[in-house]
Amino acid sequence: MQETASHSIRKSRKIPLFILYTATFVFICLLTYSLPWLAGRTLIWNVDGIAQHFPILAQFQRILQGTAHQSLFGWSWNLGAGADQLTTFAFYIVGGPFSYLIALFPADKLELGYQVLILLRLYCAGLAFLAWANQRSFSRHSKLIGTLIYTFSGYNFYVSMHHPFFLLPMIIFPLLAMGVEKVLHKQNWLPLALATALALISNFYFAYMLALGTFVYLLTRYLHYRHVSPEKLPNTKIIYCVIQAVITGLLMAGITLFPTLLAVLNSTRIAYHAKFANGLLLYPAKYYFSLPNQLITSTTIKDYWLVLNFCGLAFLAAIYVLKHFKANRALAIILLVILVSILLPQVSATANALSTPSNRWLFLAVLPMSLAVMIFVDQLPHLTRSDLKCLIGSTVALIALVWITKGFTLNVQQNDLIAYGFLIGFLLLIPQLSS
């Protein structure tokens, strides 16, 4: 039996990791995204999906296939009281490379094309993370698990069903991180420039958030390498490469970025000056009461775009990283910063282009959480009794917080109970893996 098991393990190691990811991705999608189809529904949201996303993709398909009798760079009287098509479409589809694939679908298969592109974006988000993870010295199984955590995070599930175009930042962020690594290791600025251009072309709104996340990533990685081997960091050349990458990316994206920015700056939405963070010093009490139960369940409170929904394994991984603070200093600090940032509307407003306190920036938190999972999975065989006590205590504390914030009851949805069941299942399985 042992020889058979070891043989199968050796055989699986010969399979490229992206093939294993692809097979697992298809399997999970069959378990999840097929449910609406089996119920006779689609993945098109019945609010913004049917009112905005689907119609704009239909018009874009007609333009690409030449049946709209007008150019993307022209004026259309069908957009409100009349508008420029390029700047109107730029926020959702013009800069998104996946949107152009809709031209391959017949007009009567537009609904199918819309849904296929959702899954394709989701798949590529995982591929981008896997490419980034492959630059690090983790085991194959931890990379696969981390990639699946990243791909099927609560944020990705939510936006894929509501705002599928918002999946693009999940693809671009690992590419920007890879570009940063190229700058720090080889002083090669081109990959970072290409990723920057893609971010700016695809959506300038998320490009701003990606810029904040990339700056934090660059700073933490630079400080890490400086701590490990300061003599190997050519500071002047690194600064030059970063500036060169940003300028090149801006110039490459300029053909769509600058016309779109001019249109946005003259729009009525910008003309209306809302108070910074809606004038809030703190969020309403119900926001804070909803936090504990959202950490590992699929329940979401749509107020302020609070979409956490990490799985139980990610929760345990974060606890492990925080417990071993010195060994994972940079990541532990980032996790603490994320936690504090969720609590303050001023942080969310700053990340949301200095406007309302929307937590759309939380997509940036998925990568460090997935990194924590890879670290945790590789350390499972080496967990100590102290680690196990900490993980159990943290789980009990989380359930106690849910109990308190739910009015001293555990009146939660059935799918939430399943999530807590998986968390407890992970805890019961860990001693077997660490023995």
Q: What residues have CB less than 8 Å from 413, skipping those under 6 apart?
A: 297, 299
Quick one: CA torsion of 360, 361, 362, 364, rounded to 10 degrees? 140
Cα separation values, 362 from 150, 166, 212, 357, Å: 13, 12, 12, 12
Q: What residues have CB less than 8 Å from 320, skipping those under 6 apart?
A: 372, 375, 376, 379, 387, 390, 391
What is the DSSP secondary structure assignment for residue 83, as one 8-state letter?
Answer: E
Position 3 pLDDT exceeds 70 = no
- % of the chain residues with pLDDT over 70: 94
Q: What residues have CB less than 8 Å from 394, skipping those under 6 apart?
A: 315, 316, 319
**84 sits in which H/E element:** strand 83-84
Residue 411 has a pLDDT of 82
Of 108, 97, 4, 91, the C-alpha closest to 48 is 91
Of 269, 396, 374, 361, the C-alpha closest to 320 is 374
CA angle at 261 for the pair 70 and 118, rounded to the nearest 5°: 65
- Range list of H helices, 134-234: 140-151, 154-162, 168-186, 190-202, 204-228
The CA distance from 302 to 300, in Å, is: 6
Residue 435 has a pLDDT of 61
Positive or negative, the CA dihedral 225, 226, 230, 235 is: positive
- 3-class secondary-structure state, position 63: helix
Could you tell me which residues are beta bridge partners of residue 75? 84
How large is the average pLDDT for residues 284-303? 88
How large is the average pLDDT for residues 240-261? 93
Cα separation values, 250 from 204, 258, 378, 427, Å: 11, 9, 39, 48
How large is the average pLDDT for residues 84-101? 86
Q: Mind listing the pLDDT tens digit for each residue in 163-189? A: 999 999 999 999 999 999 999 998 999
How large is the average pLDDT for residues 301-309? 86
Residue 10 has a pLDDT of 57
pLDDT band at 5 (very low <50, low <70, confident <90, very high): very low
Residue 2 has a pLDDT of 45
